[in-house]
């Protein structure tokens, strides 16, 4: 049987590390974390984790063209959109980085 709490920990830890290391773009990291929050909401609650910054940031960026859907957009639209997107992301960048480091610290210490 699959231990969903352990799976949630591993995926949250992996996503947090990828965001910290800039292995994924911040918008993609926010989308990934939001997806994990949907899939593992019970496990996240049981672990006592707060991912409020990700929730708030997601609510502000979900309408932007992100990821592969950008390929189908007009270049001028993307240039304009990216200015707005970057301004929005800048307001969350520090808080998200702190939240990612907190997740790594908390989830890594639970493995010991």
Q: What is the pLDDT of residues 17-65, one digit of tens each?
A: 999 999 999 999 999 999 999 999 998 998 889 899 999 999 999 999 9
- Is the pTM for the entire model greater than 0.75? yes
Interatomic CA distance for residues 33 and 26, integer angstroms: 10
Q: What is the pLDDT of residues 86-110, one digit of tens each?
A: 999 999 999 999 999 999 999 998 6
Q: What is the pLDDT of residues 66-81, one digit of tens each?
A: 989 999 999 999 999 9
Domain containing 16 equals 4-110
Collapsing DSSP to helix, strand or coil, 47 comes out as: coil
Distance of CA 62 to the CA centre of its chain: 12
């Amino acid at each position: 049987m699959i231990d969903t709490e352990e799976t949630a920990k591993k995926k949250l830890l992996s996503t947090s590390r990828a965001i910290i290391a800039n292995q994924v773009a911040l918008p993609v990291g926010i989308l990934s974390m939001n997806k994990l929050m949907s899939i593992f909401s019970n496990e996240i609650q049981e672990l006592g984790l707060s991912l409020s910054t990700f929730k708030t940031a997601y609510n502000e960026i979900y309408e932007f063209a992100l990821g592969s859907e950008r390929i189908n957009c007009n270049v001028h639209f993307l240039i304009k959109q990216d200015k707005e997107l970057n301004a929005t992301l800048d307001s969350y960048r520090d808080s998200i980085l702190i939240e990612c480091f907190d997740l790594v610290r908390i989830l890594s210490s639970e493995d010991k």
